[in-house]
A and B are shown apart, each in its own frame.
Chain A
Amino acid sequence: MTHKTVRIGALTRVEGEGALVVHARDGRIIGLELRIYEPPRFFEAMLRGRAHNEPPDITARICGVCPVAYQMSACQAIEAACGAEVTGPLRDLRLLLYYGEWIESHALHVYLLHAPDFLGYDSGVAMAADRRDLVERGLELKKAGNELITAIGGRPIHPVNVKVGGFYRAPARRELTAVAERLRRARDHALATVAWVAGFDFPDVEHDYRFLALRHPGEYAILSGTVVTGDGYGPVSGFEVARWPDHVVEEQVPHSTALHARLDGATGYLTGPLARYGLNSARLSPLAREAATAAGLGPVCRNPYRGIVVRAVEIVHACDEALRLLDGYAEPERPCVPVVPRPGVGHGASEAPRGTLYHRYRLDDGGLVAEADIVPPTAQNQARIEADLRDLLAPRLTLPEDELAGLCEKAIRNHDPCISCSAHFLDFRVHRG
């Protein structure tokens, strides 16, 4: 009987801190834990008793990587609870802000966290020693995203200008002209990025994913939409964001603080770039679609390693759409719509760079938060990442352990898991009350 343990003490180049432990016996995996040792921060509990206008700023602090995503899902959930809706130019501004975050976050992942895996470096900084031009391009791209967020939100991490109902102040057109310039360059960089990463050596792996993403009639959904699921080829089924709790249920797993999401009773679905692309690629901007085709992506991508190409394509889309919106930008008449708190429940979901991010709030008679539920993407993907890992390891258990560990880390990074997010919500089903 042989017993083997693969242990990655600290996952690197992911957001937040986690570890992986795999136990195998006689060539079979008997245990696999993607372990999150992020200390719990209890956001849902802390939100109780806060005013209806506070969750966007407070929940932004769940994750410094995608604060805009938190702000957007939170705003929309509260607006829904209060019967308000943000439309027109204000919604465009929100989209712009969100595209900024996509560009920033994807560029970070592609260049500094993920590409080094394909090129054999320990880090983006190490990669810069040989390929400074590439890393500088990545940083410039990332900076374009950050500047877009900064121009609208004030700062890239935990922007200050977002409020329930819209913004505190709508930027003047002239405040956005410099950003537009930078984005034009960024779009070229993004196209070059797609071509570059498309040339990487990808293992020939495909998984039968069940995807979950938002879908919007006129957009490659980012800010809002209905929830759709499917494998990308066959028919999709969908439900309104407000029905989320009826479909998605998550459980805390006994052996660790990790959790598995069940979608309509089945475990292990995937959300994030592959899911968005698989379900919505037809809605990408023409330029992004073209780039995807040129990069050899079909309408669906089921190879997790190619996630890096999909992210690059999404950067093209984000730059392209942001430029379109910027060109048409006219200062909205008012920076926000009034949102009067009232008792009730509201749901909101948007597409964080790493996948669908769902918020639900119940407001009490005083307009204070009585309950909050938040489902971040990485928590949803946890089970699916573990499944990827099983598929990866099963035929390779004879390899040396450090080699296995390296393979696993790469497989995990394919999904760009954000452990900061996921750690804080291990179960959002329980507590009502």
Chain B
Amino acid sequence: MPVVDRAPRLAVWKFASCDGCQLTFLDCEDELLSVAARVEIAYFLEASSAPGPGPYDLSLVEGSITTPEDLERIRHVRRVSKRLVTIGACATAGGIQALRDFADVREFAAVVYARPDYIATLDRSTPIAAHVPVDFELRGCPPDRRQLLEVISAFLAGRRPVVPAHSVCVECKARGNACVMVAHGTPCLGPVTQAGCGALCPAFNRGCYGCFGPMESPNHASLNHWMRDLGMSTPELVRIYRTYHATAEPFRRAAEEAEESGEGEE
């Protein structure tokens, strides 16, 4: 247990993202006030108009790095933070905006903005760990509320956060879902996706779409083979991997291999 005579100071930072990860924190209605009693919420723009100065004991970082200014800012955040934990798919894997990696970002800007020359942006959307050392990465788009609390609680207790890297299937079975792949023939990314959500999609008769990113030992080749048998086409396979964790290495490869093995068909 870290011995500190004052409450640990928490900071929440935002980079390119949808805000959902920090909102996950505000969504802990039952725990918010007890957490606030244990830590000093020293920097959290979304929730407070009294940002306190650094250094911070724990920084939660949401969002990916997409602009030159943010590149500078994340280095600052690292400097003023004892522990830096990234939260969510954007911060840990570049997020959906990393789809720009597969396109020409100038052209993207031109599609969205009348005057793309005003828009300062990098070619790629990169995770925080690509720029500064990260102490822990919490997955999910958005992260799971309980897991976020566990990360904070584990930090306070000095334990390794209980955030297992195994497949969604483990939670799916513990929850008592019947497998949608086996029972309904619905393609599911659960076997190659990291647990954490509590197997939500299968609980709603939907195949997992991978929003927690790749699990510890994903075997996409075998899964893709089976999902093709279930009727998925090459473009569908490519799209399902290339969404929320498009540039996470195993999913990037899964999409590429689907493309390669799909060549010649259709």
- Are these two chains actual partners, yes or no? yes
Which of A's residues lie within 8 Å of B, judged by CB?
10-17, 37-46, 48, 50-51, 54, 57-58, 61-65, 67, 108, 112-113, 116, 122-126, 128, 132, 135-136, 139-140, 142-143, 146, 154-158, 160-161, 163, 167-169, 251-252, 254, 256-257, 335, 409, 420, 424-431
The interface residues of chain A lying within 8 Å CB-to-CB of B96 are: 41, 46, 58, 61
Q: Is the CB of B20 within 8 A of A39?
A: no
With A and B bound together, what is the CA distance between A45 and B99 in angstroms? 10
The interface residues of chain A lying within 8 Å CB-to-CB of B109 are: 40, 42, 45
The interface residues of chain A lying within 8 Å CB-to-CB of B15 are: 39
With A and B bound together, what is the CA distance between A112 and B50 in angstroms? 13
Q: Is the CB of B112 within 8 A of A431?
A: yes
The interface residues of chain B lying within 8 Å CB-to-CB of A154 are: 200-201, 203-204
For the A-B complex with A46-B103, A428-B112, A430-B110 known, give 15 more contacts whose Cβ atoms are closer than 8 Å: A39-B67, A45-B100, A63-B20, A64-B17, A125-B47, A139-B29, A142-B27, A155-B144, A163-B206, A168-B205, A169-B205, A409-B49, A425-B112, A426-B114, A429-B114
The 7 A-B pairs with the shortest beta carbon distances in the complex, nearest first, are A64-B20, A123-B48, A122-B50, A12-B49, A143-B29, A45-B111, A45-B108
Q: Is the CB of A140 within 8 A of B19?
A: no
With A and B bound together, what is the CA distance between A50 and B200 in angstroms? 23
Q: Is the CB of A46 within 8 A of B20?
A: no
With A and B bound together, what is the CA distance between A113 and B19 in angstroms? 15
Q: Is the CB of B141 within 8 A of A39?
A: no
The interface residues of chain B lying within 8 Å CB-to-CB of A168 are: 201, 204-206
With A and B bound together, what is the CA distance between A154 and B197 in angstroms? 10
Q: Is the CB of B115 within 8 A of A254?
A: yes
Q: With a 10 A CB-CB cut-off, give which of B22, B26, B107 has the most chain A CB atoms.
A: B26
Smallest beta-carbon distance A40→chain B, Å = 6
Which stretch from B78-86, B152-160, B236-244, B255-263 is at the chain A interface? Answer: B236-244
- The residue of chain A having its C-beta at the shortest distance from the C-beta of B16 within the complex is A39
Q: Is the CB of A123 within 8 A of B47?
A: yes
With A and B bound together, what is the CA distance between A43 and B18 in angstroms? 11
With A39-B70, A155-B200 known as contacts, the answer to whether A51 contacts B239 (CB < 8 A) is yes
The interface residues of chain B lying within 8 Å CB-to-CB of A65 are: 19-20, 23
Smallest beta-carbon distance B129→chain A, Å = 18
Q: With a 10 A CB-CB cut-off, give which of B16, B47, B100, B243 has the most chain A CB atoms.
A: B47
With A13-B49, A125-B33, A409-B49 known as contacts, the answer to whether A41 contacts B204 (CB < 8 A) is no
Q: Is the CB of B111 within 8 A of A431?
A: yes
Contact with A along B126-168 (1 / 0, CB 8 A): 0000000000000001101000000000000000000000000
Q: Is the CB of B114 within 8 A of A161?
A: no
Q: With a 10 A CB-CB cut-off, give which of A12, A54, A135, A335 has the most chain B CB atoms.
A: A12
With A and B bound together, what is the CA distance between A113 and B44 in angstroms? 12
Contact with A along B10-34 (1 / 0, CB 8 A): 0000111111111110110110110
With A42-B112, A252-B114, A431-B110 known as contacts, the answer to whether A157 contacts B23 (CB < 8 A) is yes
Q: Is the CB of B211 within 8 A of A158?
A: yes
Q: Is the CB of A135 within 8 A of B33?
A: yes
The interface residues of chain B lying within 8 Å CB-to-CB of A57 are: 209, 243
B254 within 8 A of A: no
B221 within 8 A of A: no
Q: Is the CB of B200 within 8 A of A64?
A: no
Which of B's residues lie within 8 Å of A, judged by CB?
14-24, 26-27, 29-30, 32-33, 36, 41, 44-51, 63, 66-67, 69-70, 95-97, 99-100, 103, 105, 107-115, 118-119, 121, 125, 141-142, 144, 197, 200-201, 203-206, 209, 211, 236, 239, 243-244
Q: Is the CB of B49 within 8 A of A123?
A: yes
Smallest beta-carbon distance A290→chain B, Å = 28
Q: Is the CB of B32 within 8 A of A139?
A: yes
With A and B bound together, what is the CA distance between A38 and B15 in angstroms? 8
Number of A-B contacts (CB under 8 A): 205
With A and B bound together, what is the CA distance between A146 and B27 in angstroms? 8
The interface residues of chain B lying within 8 Å CB-to-CB of A54 are: 239, 243
- The residue of chain A having its C-beta at the shortest distance from the C-beta of B36 within the complex is A125
Partner of A44, one of B105, B111, B141, B243: B111
- The residue of chain B having its C-beta at the shortest distance from the C-beta of A132 within the complex is B33
Smallest beta-carbon distance A256→chain B, Å = 8
- The residue of chain A having its C-beta at the shortest distance from the C-beta of B88 within the complex is A64
Q: Is the CB of A420 within 8 A of B18?
A: yes
With A51-B236, A63-B19 known as contacts, the answer to whether A41 contacts B114 (CB < 8 A) is no
Can you identify 15 A-B contacts, CB atoms within 8 angstroms? A14-B46, A39-B63, A40-B112, A42-B97, A42-B111, A45-B103, A54-B239, A123-B44, A136-B33, A146-B29, A154-B204, A158-B141, A335-B205, A426-B112, A431-B112
The interface residues of chain A lying within 8 Å CB-to-CB of B142 are: 64, 155, 157-158
- The residue of chain B having its C-beta at the shortest distance from the C-beta of A60 within the complex is B18
Partner of A46, one of B26, B67, B108: B108
The interface residues of chain A lying within 8 Å CB-to-CB of B27 are: 142, 146, 156-157
Q: With a 10 A CB-CB cut-off, give which of B99, B100, B244 has the most chain A CB atoms.
A: B99
Smallest beta-carbon distance B196→chain A, Å = 11
- The residue of chain B having its C-beta at the shortest distance from the C-beta of A8 within the complex is B49
- The residue of chain A having its C-beta at the shortest distance from the C-beta of B242 within the complex is A50
Q: Is the CB of A112 within 8 A of B47?
A: yes
With A and B bound together, what is the CA distance between A302 and B240 in angstroms? 47
The interface residues of chain A lying within 8 Å CB-to-CB of B205 are: 168-169, 335
Smallest beta-carbon distance B70→chain A, Å = 6
The interface residues of chain B lying within 8 Å CB-to-CB of A431 are: 110-112
- The residue of chain A having its C-beta at the shortest distance from the C-beta of B110 within the complex is A431
Q: Is the CB of B48 within 8 A of A122?
A: yes
The interface residues of chain B lying within 8 Å CB-to-CB of A113 are: 47
- The residue of chain B having its C-beta at the shortest distance from the C-beta of A431 within the complex is B111
Q: Is the CB of A12 within 8 A of B51?
A: yes
Q: Is the CB of B18 within 8 A of A62?
A: yes
With A and B bound together, what is the CA distance between A328 and B244 in angstroms? 37
With A39-B121, A125-B47 known as contacts, the answer to whether A61 contacts B14 (CB < 8 A) is no
The interface residues of chain B lying within 8 Å CB-to-CB of A139 are: 29-30, 32-33
Q: Is the CB of B100 within 8 A of A125?
A: no
The interface residues of chain B lying within 8 Å CB-to-CB of A156 are: 27
